[in-house]
């Protein structure tokens, strides 16, 4: 999950967002789409070493929670 | 120990008692002029060319597992020079020329086989695209021939030419492309480096990179600290983690790529063949197994194994193109961790830390690059100057947007290549 910088955030911020990665070997949060089913966007917590999925949330719910928190 | 036909004959007659280990197993020294992190194809070729071309022999390769245990021993061994973008074209062209003299140079049988690669096309639009690619290859000084349907039928009579959805229209033939025995390439470079005095240190994981005032001083390893004036990071799928030891974030995501092999069969597929309408390519190994693969699974992974959807896609594509392989039994499948860059092209560059260099981002195509990458990276590490054929593989091209090499024209963003 990456926070999108504002349009005028500059080259370094956009490079960070678009290209540079922590590339973790372990637990990571990603945006997935249930392409072969209902089309929902999901926030999936997944281990990149074991492929174990430990948590799945509706992206819309996560977004609402983020907006409520900010 | 030199290999020759005479030597093989003599050993055969005397019970094969005269063969010696191909390289030493030295203890790490306290200090080297340069250390290479990673004993895969690229790390070993870098060490070889540092010693051979630049006389740097007080150097070491540090490998956390065993030599050749990474992607260099997990790939589908295709060697070619059919890239279309400036930057890639001249690099792979140089690398293919090195392949062509490799076995004599290393005195090692890497089973390099220029059996020809045929990329099939299945529509008029694809024909035009391949004609253009062929012209680019010829402009670069490499070989390409556009085959029509009958030309393909002559070489590959077993294809399903009249497939109802994806009939075969023709193919682009690259005669100098082919395959090589992957682990022999690693062993050949390892032996050549060792013979020139390079210490190849296995079971030695780098756990930290020592930097003082912006200058690299050496590395921490599971076998103790090692001082070095220059350090090269050449760790393929693990690039992100090793670079993090130097405080760097890379434009790299690690993804899994799968491959498959069947039981051994009599010779039936004489070339490397790729399907133009799905992710499938195939060749036959000298042991007789059909070796084939497709595309990435398309999610970040360090698992060295993939999942069923890509497996199913690859098998379906194979059956669509050449139904005859349906009777062969798949013996094994496996995966390797690929260092994917946003534009699908590699990086050979200096870093912001003086004396620290990086060679990574080979994506799913770094086997063919083993000779060229080692040659160019050694040049950079030894002289501080970029080697002409690899001069465009810059680390900062994503930030600036200048000099991106997006072969597939899908955009220079992660997850698109
Ligand atoms: C299934 C598959 C098919 C492929 N097919 C082709 C193909 O047909 N043609 C082609 O050109 N390319 C192909 N590739 C890509 C090619 O194999 C890779 O791009 C290339 O091998 C990567 O470079 P390498 O050989 O140096 O990597 P590796 O062999 O992975 O070497 C990296 C080494 O670094 C070591 N290392 C990592 N971290 C540390 C540390 N902290 N300390 C010490 N050592 C460390 C690892 O143990 C490893 O041995 C394929 C790859 C896969 C997985
Ligand atoms: Zn759903």
State what percent of residues in chain B have pLDDT above 90: 97
What is the pLDDT, as a whole number, of residue A36? 87
Q: Is residue B152 a contact partner of residue B122, using CB atoms and an 8 Å limit?
A: no
What is the pLDDT, as a whole number, of residue B342? 96
Q: Is residue B89 a contact partner of residue B372, using CB atoms and an 8 Å limit?
A: no
Taking the alpha carbons of A18, B407, B126, B310 in that order, is the dihedral positive or negative?
A: negative
What is the pLDDT, as a whole number, of residue B139? 96
- What is the number of alpha carbons within 13 Å of residue B415 lying toward its C-beta? 11
Pocket perturbation via mutation, ligand 1, pick of B257, B261, B284, B366 by most ligand atoms within 8 A of CB: B366
User: Is A2 within the bounds of a domain?
Assistant: no
Q: Is B234 in the pocket of ligand 1 (CB under 6 A)?
A: yes
What's the mean pLDDT when you consider all of chain B?
Answer: 97
| Residue from the list B254, B299, B400 with its beta carbon closest to the beta carbon of A23 | B254
Condensed to tens digits (0 to 9), the pLDDT of residues B179-190 reads 999 999 999 999
- pLDDT of residue A1 exceeding 80, the answer is no
Asked if A48 lies within 8 A of B414 by C-beta distance, the reply is no
User: Is A31 within the bounds of a domain?
Assistant: yes
Region B70-79: mean pLDDT is: 96
What is the pLDDT, as a whole number, of residue B5? 93
Region B328-337: mean pLDDT is: 96
Interface test with B, best of A1, A14, A19, A35 (most B CBs within 10 A): A19
Distance between CA B372 and CA A20 in Å, rounded?
26
Domains of chain B: 25-77+183-252+343-416 (3.50.50.60), 117-175 (3.30.9.10), 253-340 (3.30.9.10)
User: Is A14 within the bounds of a domain?
Assistant: no
Region B109-116: mean pLDDT is: 97
Closest alpha carbon to B220 in B24, B39, B28, B26: B28
What total of structural domains would you count in chain A? 1
Which residues constitute the domain of residue A53?
24-69
Condensed to tens digits (0 to 9), the pLDDT of residues B127-186 reads 999 999 999 999 999 999 999 999 999 999 999 999 999 999 999 999 999 999 999 999
Residue B160: is it exposed, middle or buried by C-beta count within 10 angstroms (0-12/13-18/19+)?
middle
What is the pLDDT, as a whole number, of residue A5? 95
Condensed to tens digits (0 to 9), the pLDDT of residues A2-22 reads 889 999 999 999 999 999 999
Region B350-363: mean pLDDT is: 98
Distance between CA B280 and CA A47 in Å, rounded?
28
Distance between CA B61 and CA B228 in Å, rounded?
12
User: Is A3 within the bounds of a domain?
Assistant: no
Q: From chain A, pick out residues whose CB is under 8 angstroms from the CB of B250.
A: 20-21, 23
| Residue from the list A15, A23, A51 with its beta carbon closest to the beta carbon of B253 | A23
Q: What are phi and psi of B263, to 5 degrees?
A: -55, 160
Question: If you measure from the C-alpha of residue A29 to the centroid of ligand 1, how many angstroms do you get, rounded to a whole number?
Answer: 26
Q: Is residue B326 a contact partner of residue B319, using CB atoms and an 8 Å limit?
A: yes
Asked if A30 lies within 8 A of B249 by C-beta distance, the reply is no
What is the pLDDT, as a whole number, of residue B1? 80
Measured between CA atoms, how close is A68 to chain B, in angstroms? 30
Measured between CA atoms, how close is B303 to chain A, in angstroms? 5
* Residues 333-362 in B contacting A (C-alpha not used; CB under 8 Å): 342
| C-alpha distances out from residue B357 to B31, B37, B107, Å | 18, 10, 29
CB contact, 8 Å: B241 with chain A?
yes
Distance between CA B38 and CA B234 in Å, rounded?
5
| C-alpha distances out from residue B390 to A8, B90, B150, B256, B275, Å | 33, 8, 38, 26, 29
pLDDT band at A70; cut points 50, 70, 90: confident
- pLDDT of residue B257 exceeding 90, the answer is yes
**Joined tokens for residue B231:** 């350090």
What's the mean pLDDT when you consider all of chain A?
Answer: 94
Region B214-228: mean pLDDT is: 98
Q: How many Cβ atoms are within 10 Å of A70's Cβ, its own excluded?
A: 5
Distance between CA B354 and CA B217 in Å, rounded?
9
Condensed to tens digits (0 to 9), the pLDDT of residues B294-314 reads 999 999 999 989 999 999 999
pTM metric for this prediction: 0.97
Condensed to tens digits (0 to 9), the pLDDT of residues B366-382 reads 999 999 999 999 999 99
User: Is A6 within the bounds of a domain?
Assistant: no
User: Is A1 within the bounds of a domain?
Assistant: no
User: Is A17 within the bounds of a domain?
Assistant: no
Crossing angle of helices B370-383 and B182-195, rounded to 10°? 30
Region A22-37: mean pLDDT is: 94
User: Is A35 within the bounds of a domain?
Assistant: yes
DSSP state string for B63-114: -SS-TT-SGGGTS--EE-----STTHHHHHHHHHHHHHHHHHHHTS----B-
Region B250-278: mean pLDDT is: 97
Measured between CA atoms, how close is A50 to chain B, in angstroms? 6
């Amino acid at each position: 999950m990456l926070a999108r910088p504002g349009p005028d955030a500059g080259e370094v911020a956009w490079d960070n967002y678009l290209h540079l990665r922590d590339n973790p070997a372990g637990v990571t949060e990603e945006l997935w789409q249930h392409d072969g089913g209902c089309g929902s966007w999901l926030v999936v917590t997944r281990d990149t070493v074991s492929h174990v999925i430990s948590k799945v949330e509706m992206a819309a719910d996560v977004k609402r929670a983020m907006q409520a928190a900010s | 120990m030199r290999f020759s036909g005479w030597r093989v004959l003599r050993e055969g007659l005397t019970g094969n008692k005269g063969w010696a280990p191909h390289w030493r197993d030295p203890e790490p020294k306290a200090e080297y002029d340069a250390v290479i992190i990673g004993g895969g194809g690229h790390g070993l070729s870098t060490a070889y060319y540092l010693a051979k071309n630049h006389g740097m022999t007080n150097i070491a390769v540090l490998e956390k597992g065993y030599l050749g245990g990474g992607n260099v021993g997990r790939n589908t061994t295709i060697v070619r020079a059919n890239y279309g973008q400036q930057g890639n074209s001249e690099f792979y062209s140089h690398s293919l020329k090195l392949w062509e003299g490799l076995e004599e140079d290393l005195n090692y049988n890497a089973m390099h086989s220029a059996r020809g690669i045929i990329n099939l096309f299945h529509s008029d639009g694809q024909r035009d695209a391949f004609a253009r690619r062929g012209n680019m290859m010829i402009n670069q000084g490499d070989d390409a021939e556009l085959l029509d349907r009958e030309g393909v039928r002559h070489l590959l009579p077993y294809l399903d030419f009249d497939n109802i959805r994806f009939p075969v229209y023709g193919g682009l033939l690259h005669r100098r492309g082919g395959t090589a025995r992957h682990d022999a390439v690693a062993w050949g470079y390892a032996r050549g480096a060792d013979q020139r005095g390079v210490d190849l240190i296995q079971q030695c994981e780098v756990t930290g990179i020592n930097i003082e005032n912006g200058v690299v001083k050496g590395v921490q390893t599971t076998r103790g600290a090692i001082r070095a004036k220059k350090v090269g990071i050449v760790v393929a799928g693990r690039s992100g983690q090793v670079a993090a030891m130097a405080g760097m974030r890379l434009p790299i995501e690690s993804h899994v790529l799968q491959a498959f092999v069947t039981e051994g069969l009599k010779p039936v597929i004489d070339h490397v063949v790729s399907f133009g309408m799905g992710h499938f390519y195939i060749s036959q190994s000298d042991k007789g197994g059909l070796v084939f693969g497709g595309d990435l699974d398309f999610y970040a992974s360090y698992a060295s194994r993939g999942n069923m959807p890509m497996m199913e896609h690859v098998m379906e594509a194979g059956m669509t193109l050449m139904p005859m392989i349906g009777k062969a039994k798949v013996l094994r499948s496996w995966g390797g961790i690929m260092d994917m860059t946003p534009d699908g092209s590699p990086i050979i560059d200096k870093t912001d830390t003086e004396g620290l260099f990086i060679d990574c981002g080979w994506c799913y195509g770094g086997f063919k690059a083993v000779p060229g990458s080692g040659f160019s990276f050694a040049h950079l590490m030894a002289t501080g100057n970029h080697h002409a054929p690899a001069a465009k593989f810059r680390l900062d091209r994503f930030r600036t947007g200048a000099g991106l090499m997006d072969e597939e024209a899908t955009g220079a963003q992660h997850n698109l290549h």
